[in-house]
Structure 1
Amino acid sequence: MVDLNKVWYKFYSPRVRPRLHYPDLTMPQYLDKSAKDFPERAAIVFAETQYSFRKLAGLVNQCAGALNALGVKKGDRVAIMSPNCPQYILGFLATLKLGAVVVQVNPMYVERELEYILKDSGAQTIIAYDALYRRIKNVRSRVALQNVLVFTLGKGSVAIDSNALQIEELLPQYPTQFQQVPLDMDEDIAVFQYTGGTTGVSKGAMLTHRNLTANTLQVTEWMETMKYGKDKVLCALPFFHSYGMTGCLNFSIINAATMIIMAQFNIKECMELIKHEKPTIFPGVPTMYIAVNNYPNAQGYGIKSIKSCMSGSAPLPMEVVEQFEKLTEGLLVEGYGLSEASPVTHCNPLLERRKVGSIGIPLPDTDCKIVDLETGLRELPPGEIGELCIKGPQVMKGYWNMPEETANTLKNEWLYTGDIAKMDEEGYCYIVDRKKDIIIAGGYNIYPREIEEVLYEHPKIREAVAVGVPDPYRGETVKAFIVLKEGMQADAKEIIHYCRANLARYKVPQYVEFRNALPQNVMGKVLRRILREEESQKI
């Protein structure tokens, strides 16, 4: 039960409830509800394909029937390796309808990474885009796979041998009705959401059916401008990532919203989709909004259809917010989440007070605190920097087969996030940085985000990231990697001089490197680790 005396509830919109009711309904059951309420409404728009909610529900049931006939049962793990597409949604929801566990697999994984996840999860079935089949085939002898199901996207297809089954041929053999397998919402696992592994071995966060529905309903409550059965969601975030899974796929299913699906984010394709399909909700990451802001004649693409956007995964500079909201006349707010929390825990209010640089306040039924970095036991007062801890119905059950990691992360129902943060006197939280990203120079703790906020305010800079690089005297020092806006020119002296006017001396970058692009993961999050590794190899 949440403590309604927490200071942040004063800043909730009158239309957002601090406590919610979470029905015992799985995602497939919510799809059935949406299909009953809006049978002919478009559920999916993808390239030349369009499915109504009635059609999608029937296809999910056929897919569940096919998996069931192959021996998939409650508790079994089913890997899905695919970009965003209708088949991804079918496999995801059909697996949940059987009470089996979806194992999310990044389609960019190489064989070594794929083999690790298949071994670790114990997946016996995989559903995959046929262009990825060779990777699966090459690791199959070393993992427990019994069933490989593939599908084709577009006109081209890849040669598939007799050891794989074509989904397109299987589905018509099964009825369009299939009952949800009975399960325990709080105990039964719906998804293994593997964390990126950037801090070591990739860990499978076990998300229950309650976690998925609770977090989707929390986000729904927060997005107070949306209306059941009326909205269109631009699905540019990958479904295999927890943010795309909840913010795009599950959110659309629960709210009977049309999914406008992009296989991967491409700004030209994105602008054309906005022009033709008129999405109203656009969950994304800062790089996506930056791309829209910088697109030639952006206002000529009907972007004013966009009413609300929640940004996550990386810091959202205020300059980006102001330009995007001016172009669209919609709302863009920064939120926060992590795979272990399904993922969303915080967000700035859409229609009430927002704070620059803040991730906002906790969602309904979500509690948070800041604890000291030394012991993790002492709760800190407003303004002091420590580790952010979360409690709520969206917090994972634990890590798959990792009791020690689970014990280190979940303590007395609190999720220790590994993010360094502070909370102000009104309950708004500010991520200072990841524990591993702190730059320690000459005894000073330097937080890259603070430097990056300053760099983003420079009129010539499009993207920027600050990392710690080895320094023989200070231990570490700051280096800034910068992408300039198109047509702009600058040199290191100009950037350093600008930083000196806006930052304490010890925080000013000692080195500046200009690049055409920064290394990013599929979510558009800059990979500091790669930049650090490149620098360490220069020594």
Structure 2
Amino acid sequence: MSYDEKPWLARYDRGQPEGITPEFDDALSMVRATVARAGDRAAIRYFGRTVTFTELDRLSDAFAAGLAAEGFSSGERVAIFTQNVPQFVIAQIGTWKAGGIAVSINPMNKARELTGLLADSGATVLVCLQSLWRDVAAGVVPGSSVRTVLTTSELDLCGDPGASVFAGVERLDCAGTDDLLAFLERHDGSAPPPVTPRPDDIAFLTYTSGTTGPPKGAMTTHRNVVFNAQTYRDWVGIGDDDVVLGVAPLFHITGLVGHIAITLLTGAPLVLMYRLDPALTLDTVEAEGATFTVGSITVFIALMNAPGADTAKLATLTKVYSGGAPIPPSSVQAFRDAFGHYIHNIYGLTETTSPSHGVPFHAEAPVDPESGALSVGVPVYDTVVRIVDEHGDDVPVGEIGELVTAGPQVVAGYWNKPDETAAALPGGVLHTGDVGYMDADGWFYIVDRKKDQINAGGYKIWPREVEDVLYEHPAVREAAVVGVPDEYRGETVKAFVSLRADATTTPEEIIAFARQRMAAYKYPRRLEILDEIPKTVSGKVLRRELRGGTPA
């Protein structure tokens, strides 16, 4: 069987075509269509404050008109350096209306990282939380390409500034910047010059997490955005009667597409919570009637371990997807035991504009009987994924190789990095760096990243398989495995775990647990218990910190 055959279509009939016809050429046309048909509906809900689509349209018009008045030109970049607040969405749409490219920046970044991203993107406008201006950006912007700084508070556009998540937050005076709300008020009612992006124009620069080197700006086009917005809608069955829960960071490709773009396409409101707080998230789902979300498995593990977690809290959240980090089968079962809902796997990269694979909504992912890995699903619409060896040749079904992806969601390349683009995207086909295999029924499994394979005395070990076994231990909340130097074996397996609340155990006991369940060369010889496993904000384990012995 070849990799472009799709045997799952008959077996898991979703009543949907194999491909989809794009309804829009660009993300801005998608926005305008939703405003026209659903203007009075809620676009964003933020602690009791509702922003309708009409209001969002007006505010983003003012943003674009203000940029034009400042001399902003088509193709310039606007860096957005905030948490999950409504201002992020306003700035993003306003940037498109001004003919610009939005650059989303991780709010956890420090001065060194921000300096690099502003220099790489050449951003001329920075939209920044007041606290991030004070703590990070004020010392970086002088000398950069940025000429306009708009600061805002997480308390702006908020209906309940006394919410617990805002403890210690206060409005700040940011000298030398323009207040975003004042900027919008000055230009309220002004219409920016008309803009209609072309399908292959860049909508975002979405920076990779930098876990394998300096971050690269993936050039996400308008075509990419509208295609995968439709993919989420049709794959999951999301309509304007749904409520989208924004648990993923908006700067991340999952938040950009699986939260913002799906709202802008369907007219379903997006519920934002500033930053993730598990107890607050449980209460918000119950209060807002949230029905759909997509986030890393660490989010769902946190919800299971939050105070007050019970079935009633998440009763409405029936459409649950997880991506961005490997999902242990035991965590899927534990979540269903706790809340009654199945977590559907979804898989993609920054370079695939979120999903390239997913578990059909009415199906459940199989678990490989040999490795214990949970399938990441099947390729989504119009997407062909091959498994290849080191020479680029297809390997037989069931054998391990690198995933190579072609489809309308694959990005145009990396910003100002032609060599890296040629290496990772030859001919526009993405060599993912992820290692996995496809079974005879067309289900795909991710084993690990190429670089994470451990070689212990000639035996090849994938951290993912060891981690899945560790997650079966009743005391383990999270687990991460790396290879560390060993005088005898060259490299050996070391595990790091965090424990569930009130759980007690020892490293020796967990090692013994794993030893009983794994081949002798696979189980961890060393194990360390941490309060938290170091991760990126999107949920990916920072293995290089663990290898270096400096977990944060």
TM class, shorter-length: over 0.9
How do 1:81-120 and structure 2 match up within 5 A? 81-120=81-120
In structure 2, distance between residues paired with 1:277 and 1:180: 36
How do 1:69-218 and structure 2 match up within 5 A? 69-134=69-134, 135-154=136-155, 156-161=170-175, 163-174=176-187, 175=189, 177-178=191-192, 180-186=194-200, 188-218=201-231
Residue segments in structure 1 that go unaligned for 5+ positions in a row = none
In structure 2, distance between residues paired with 1:396 and 1:58: 30
Q: Tell me, what secondary structure is at the counterpart of 2:533?
A: coil
1:462-519, Cα deviation, whole Å (9 max, x unpaired): 1111111110111110011111222222222322222122111100110111122111
Distance change (3 Å), C-alpha of 1:52 and 1:530: same
1:328-369, Cα deviation, whole Å (9 max, x unpaired): 333321111111111211111110252131101001011100
User: For residue 260 of structure 1, what is the aligned residue in structure 2?
Assistant: 271
Q: Tell me, what secondary structure is at the counterpart of 1:462?
A: strand
Report deviation, 1:29. Answer: 2.7
How do 1:3-42 and structure 2 match up within 5 A? 5-42=5-42
Q: Tell me, what secondary structure is at the counterpart of 1:157?
A: coil
User: For residue 526 of structure 2, what is the aligned residue in structure 1?
Assistant: 511
In structure 1, distance between residues paired with 2:108 and 2:258: 21
In structure 1, distance between residues paired with 2:3 and 2:504: 53
User: For residue 412 of structure 1, what is the aligned residue in structure 2?
Assistant: 427
User: For residue 452 of structure 2, what is the aligned residue in structure 1?
Assistant: 437
Deviates more, 1:323-332 or 1:39-48: 323-332
User: For residue 370 of structure 2, what is the aligned residue in structure 1?
Assistant: none
In structure 1, distance between residues paired with 2:327 and 2:422: 32
Report deviation, 1:139. Answer: 1.7
The RMSD of aligned alpha carbons is 1.9
Q: Tell me, what secondary structure is at the counterpart of 2:127?
A: strand
In structure 2, distance between residues paired with 1:11 and 1:72: 52
**TM-score, normalization by structure 2:** 0.92
1:397 to 401, 412, 419: 412
Query: Percent of pairs identical after alignment?
Result: 37
User: For residue 531 of structure 1, what is the aligned residue in structure 2?
Assistant: 546
- Matched AA of 1:148: V
- Matched AA of 1:469: V
- Quick check: 1:462–1:483 contact (8 Å CA) kept in 2? yes
Report deviation, 1:535. Answer: 6.8
In structure 1, distance between residues paired with 2:5 and 2:112: 50
Report deviation, 1:166. Answer: 1.2
Distance change (3 Å), C-alpha of 1:463 and 1:255: same
- Quick check: 1:13–1:351 contact (8 Å CA) kept in 2? no
Distance change (3 Å), C-alpha of 1:32 and 1:182: closer
In structure 1, distance between residues paired with 2:510 and 2:303: 25
Residue segments in structure 2 that go unaligned for 5+ positions in a row = 156-160, 162-169, 368-373
In structure 1, distance between residues paired with 2:400 and 2:539: 27
In structure 1, distance between residues paired with 2:471 and 2:315: 25
In structure 1, distance between residues paired with 2:441 and 2:428: 24
Report deviation, 1:12. Answer: 4.3
In structure 2, distance between residues paired with 1:308 and 1:300: 15
Distance change (3 Å), C-alpha of 1:415 and 1:511: same
In structure 1, distance between residues paired with 2:63 and 2:550: 48
- Quick check: 2:283–2:313 contact (8 Å CA) kept in 1? no
Report deviation, 1:4. Answer: 7.3
**TM-score, normalization by structure 1:** 0.94
- Matched AA of 2:388: V
Q: Tell me, what secondary structure is at the counterpart of 2:310?
A: helix
2:344 aligned with 1:333:
yes
In structure 2, distance between residues paired with 1:475 and 1:4: 40
- Quick check: 2:434–2:448 contact (8 Å CA) kept in 1? yes
Instruction: Count the aligned residue pairs.
Output: 529
User: For residue 476 of structure 1, what is the aligned residue in structure 2?
Assistant: 491
Tell me which stretches of 4 or more aligned residues in structure 1 moved more than 6 Å.
Answer: none
Distance change (3 Å), C-alpha of 1:475 and 1:360: same
Q: Tell me, what secondary structure is at the counterpart of 1:483?
A: strand
Report deviation, 1:178. Answer: 4.6
How do 1:278-317 and structure 2 match up within 5 A? 278-299=289-310, 301-317=312-328
Q: Tell me, what secondary structure is at the counterpart of 1:305?
A: coil
Deviates more, 1:518-527 or 1:82-91: 518-527
How do 1:269-280 and structure 2 match up within 5 A? 269-280=280-291
Deviates more, 1:66-75 or 1:111-120: 66-75
Q: Tell me, what secondary structure is at the counterpart of 2:32?
A: helix
